[in-house]
Amino acid sequence: MTRREVNAGILAGAALAAAPALAVAQGPTPRDLPPPRSEGGQPLIAALKLRRSTREYSDRPLAPQVLSDLLWAAFGINRPSGDRTAPYWRHVMVIDIYLAMADGVWLYEPKTHKLLPYAKDDFRAQTGLQDFVAAAPLNLVYVAHGERMTDVAPEERRLYASVDAGFIGQNVYLFCASEGLATVFRGALDGPKLGRALRLPDQQFVTFAQTVGYPRD
């Protein structure tokens, strides 16, 4: 990591997922999340009845427990095998979840259930083309590792990565419905521009984003 990258707000860039210790040594430390709740929530049918997209958000931040539960529901580990709450293509972990919040960009690490620091600046406004994204407390950005999809034609990588992101997105929708949170899955974004702003490594690309927050009163 160069001094220039630090100045640009990128704390660990490409090396982060592979070597979080680098980020610890050179920037803010990973953020602990409380253990996700293993009980509670609305019955599935009730959550399905409530599921919807919302585009008006309060700027109230999400409490740490809510963030923890949300991320676990989205793509957390739900079995001793290390597998996840959402199905994924060919047992290859393609999607990373980045969190764009007022205090910077964080990368969700499901194995330790922590947030790894990624960038110190507020990137929320850059995660979409709609105004509400700048003020909502959280925008999840679903980033795909194209380089892990080795035996797939490049033009098909986006297809499988998008399906993986869609499953995660539906988990988020159902969690939000259950918890009285607002959310919307979003394709209206400039993925290449956002990828450049985040300095994603070559072959990683933004698929979709999803805003989460409390509904505006």
Ligand X SMILES: Cc1cc2nc3c(=O)[nH]c(=O)nc-3n(C[C@H](O)[C@H](O)[C@H](O)COP(=O)(O)O)c2cc1C
The residue number with the shortest CB distance to ligand X is 188
Q: Shortest distance, CB of residue 48 to ligand X, whole angstroms?
A: 11
In the bound state with ligand X, the residue whose beta carbon lies nearer, of 30 and 166, is 166
- Number of residues in contact with ligand X under rule CB under 6 A: 9
Query: Smaller CB distance to ligand X: residue 11 or 184?
Result: 184
**H or E stretch at 49:** helix 44-50
d(CA 81, CA 163): 22
- Considering the complex, state which of residue 68 and residue 211 has its C-beta at the smaller distance from ligand X: 211
Q: Shortest Cβ distance from residue 29 to ligand X (Å)?
A: 34
Least distance to ligand X from the beta carbon of 169, Å? 7
Is the separation of the CB atoms in 18 and 111 below 8 Å?
no
Pick the closer one to ligand X by CB: 16 or 209.
Answer: 209
Interface positions, 179-198, toward ligand X (CB under 6 A): 184-188
Token pair listed for 28: 């803010």
CA-to-CA distance for 195 and 144, rounded, in angstroms? Answer: 11
Q: For the sheet containing 95-101, what is the strand order?
A: 31-32, 114-119, 104-109, 95-101, 138-145, 204-213, 182-186
46-85 residues near ligand X, rule: CB under 6 A = 52-53, 55
DSSP state of 60: P
| Binding interface with ligand X (CB under 6 A) | 52-53, 55, 130, 184-188
